[in-house]
Amino acid sequence: MQPINLSACLRQFSEHWSPRIIASLNDQEVKLAKFQGAFDWHAHDDEDELFLVVHGEFTMEFRDRSVVLREGELIVVPRGVEHRPVAEQECHVLLFEPAGIVNTGNAIESDKTNPATWLEGLAPPSAPS
């Protein structure tokens, strides 16, 4: 059990829309992602998703409105709700959601479909031996 420094984790990767897992618990995962530009419209039939802005800001577009999220703010997108994150400038986001979720949801696979991978040097919790 060691502290996980978000800034240090964010320095380890640069790809956009390519989430990295930094912690897991109870079948949920904590991830970091870098947003830039517009993602694909999508929904997740069975998963709610939490987005917390670590640096920068982005807009979460819904079909009927848009919500601007600034540093230190979070939003939970309920399952089944179509959404599209858009970041005019690079934005760093912490996600909390069930393990195995597909970032592009039920959408057809696209160039933005990226399975989350563990950030190098981090691993799932293990029971004491």
Nearer to Ni ion, 23 or 97 (CB): 97
Q: How far is the CB of 55 from Ni ion (least distance, A)?
A: 20
Q: How far is the CB of 52 from Ni ion (least distance, A)?
A: 14
Q: How far is the CB of 1 from Ni ion (least distance, A)?
A: 30
Q: How far is the CB of 78 from Ni ion (least distance, A)?
A: 11
Nearer to Ni ion, 9 or 104 (CB): 104
Other beta carbons less than 10 A from residue 74's beta carbon: 13
Q: Position of tokens 């998703």? A: 49
* Helix, coil or strand: residue 8: helix
Nearer to Ni ion, 22 or 103 (CB): 103
Q: Position of tokens 């802005």? A: 53
Region 23-82 residues binding Ni ion, contact defined as CB under 5 A = 49
Q: How far apart are CA 111 and CA 39, in angstroms?
A: 10
Size of the site for Ni ion (CB under 5 A): 1
Q: Position of tokens 């979720």? A: 101
- Encoded amino acid at 12, one letter: Q
Nearer to Ni ion, 29 or 49 (CB): 49
* Helix, coil or strand: residue 16: strand
Residues within the interface to Ni ion (CB under 5 A): 49
